[in-house]
Structure 1
Amino acid sequence: MAKAEEYIKKDHQLFEETVVNNEEISPGVFLLSVKRVHDFKPGQVVKLAVDQVQPPRIYSICSGNSDEELRILFNIKDDGYLTPRLAGLIPGDKVLLSAPYGSFVGNKKPAWWIATGTGIAPFYSMFQSGLAGNKMLIHGASYLNQFYFEDELDWAMDKNYQRCCSREQSCDVFPGRVTDYLENRSELPRTAQYYLCGKAIMVVEVRDLLIRKGVPYENIIAEIYF
């Protein structure tokens, strides 16, 4: 399991990069693009800032590792310093970005990718990097318009892509939280790896549920929002 200390204590130099695009893909949710200048492994993160006033925040990369652009998925925090400013950026503006790093890295082994909200970002990076074979992707959200990239994922992964919605219903979406969906499974493959990305409470609840259902602790790899 990735620990917060790994990301907080390391000192990463920030480089000035130019915004290529900044698209609002859902209300209050943006996909920020800069030109990719560093290689990275799908699932890794970068530190991002708009100035030297506030410390940078950490975001998962949301693009394939061979794409010309490096993209960041974020939602606006109304009481935050960074995200309202990020939302206002236009092509040509500057941001401060670190080189990619981190140990939450995808591979070609059988795995379940479990995300909530914008926690889909590292898994979309893995998907775009050609790692979707032998994978099951479970994405949880409160509302139906929060399943980012759903058309592409649904078309490519078919039955291996499961949406779980807790506050709205649709005929092809599981009615409930990710934990409800997993609880309803009669059994889970114990030899697969389980990647979790989302808020701490989700990660802890899903981790405990998986262990209770017989998944070895060492098969669970987590990325927690800070």
Structure 2
Amino acid sequence: MTKRKQKDLFPVKIIDNQEIVPGVFSLETEKKFDFIPGQVVAVAMNPTDEPRLYSIASGNKKDFIRLIFDVNPHGKLTPQLAKLSKGDKLYMSKPFGKFLGTVEPAWWIATGTGIAPFISMAESDMYVGKKLIHGAKTPAEFLFSELFVQTLGESYLRFATREVGPGINSGRLTSWLKDLKELPGDVLFYLCGNPDMVVEVRDILVGKGIAIEKVIAEIYF
């Protein structure tokens, strides 16, 4: 989820809504508009409400739009989103934004539900030449990891800070980046997740000689 932005909203029907890990939901709605992987939509329960922004987390050839979100018990929107069922109505804007997937070689770096735009890119066949650096607290929090294992193979690196499991590295992804002796200068770096991670990773990349124009960031709150 990204910062608020006022947009015209349109009614869409809920197709499915599942809690995929405790406190995290995958919500699917009918698809009324085409989009570029990486774009966001503004979402609200009512057309007069102040919307919140969510990255689309589904491939652009699918016949639905998927959003993933974690529930904030004190939030105004996510507790209501979690209660939606098939056939219910939600209000959504046309897709927009500049965090756009391309076929160019890139490193994707994400934490939490910041993985959403990379799900969209991978399901849209934009995974060739990509490396995903994925951070979480526990193995269960690597959302859609099967998709990335299948599409990226050894170019999918997971870092967990509390628990580890098969194929998962222990520690923070930022520590791994700091320890790298060099970074590729001919790829783009897409950063998506909480603000602290995005700022820290951006500073690490620039400090290692990556041109700032090669760093594309999307901040989640």
Equivalent residue for 2:192, pick from 194, 197, 205: 197
Query: Deviation digits for residues 42-80 of structure 1, max 9, x if unmatched?
Result: 000000111256411000000001100000010101111
The range that moved more, 157-166 or 50-59, is 50-59
Q: In structure 1, what is the Cα distance between the partners aligned to 2:150 and 2:47?
A: 42
Q: For 1:103, what is the secondary structure of its paired residue?
A: coil
Unaligned runs of 5+ in 2: none
In 1: Cα distance, 2:175 partner to 2:12 partner? 42
Q: Identity, % of aligned pairs?
A: 46
1:63 maps to which of 58, 66, 81: 58
Q: Tell me which amino acid in the other structure corresponds to 2:127.
A: A
Choose which of 188, 210, 222 in structure 1 pairs with 2:183: 188
- Deviation of 1:152 after TM superposition, in Å, equals 2.2
Q: What corresponds to 1:19 in structure 2?
A: 14
Distance 2:118 2:47 in 1: 30
Letter in 2 for 1:74: F
Deviation at 1:171, TM superposition (A): 3.8
**2:117 matches 1:98:** no
1:49 aligns with 2:49: no
Is this contact kept in 2: 1:174–1:181, CA < 8 A?
A: no
Q: Does structure 1 residue 154 correspond to structure 2 residue 155?
A: no
Q: Are 2:126 and 1:131 aligned?
A: yes
**Equivalent position to 1:173, from 168, 175, 189:** 168
**Among candidates 106, 111, 117, match of residue 111 of structure 1:** 106
* 2:12 match: secondary structure: strand
Give the whole-Å Cα distance in 2 for the aligned partners of 1:200 and 1:152: 25
What CA deviation, in whole Å up to 9, does each residue of 1:163-184 have, x standing for no partner?
Answer: 1101112241111111012112
Query: What CA distance in whole angstroms lies between the structure 2 residues aligned with 1:126 and 1:91?
Result: 26
- The corresponding residue for 1:120 is 115
Q: Partners of 1:216 and 1:203 in 2: how far apart?
A: 16
Q: 1:86 aligns with which of 74, 81, 84?
A: 81
In structure 2, distance between residues paired with 1:53 and 1:109 = 39
State how far apart, in whole Å, the 2-side matches of 1:155 and 1:110 are: 18
Q: State the distance in 2 between where 1:188 and 1:111 align.
A: 12
- 1:8 is displaced (CA, Å) by 4.7
CA distance in 2 between partners of 1:90 and 1:194 (Å): 37
TM-score by length of 2: 0.96
8 A contact 1:44–1:102 mirrored in 2: yes
Aligned CA RMSD, in angstroms, stands at 1.3
In structure 1, distance between residues paired with 2:13 and 2:166: 42
The separation in 2 between residues aligned to 1:52 and 1:16, in whole angstroms, is 8
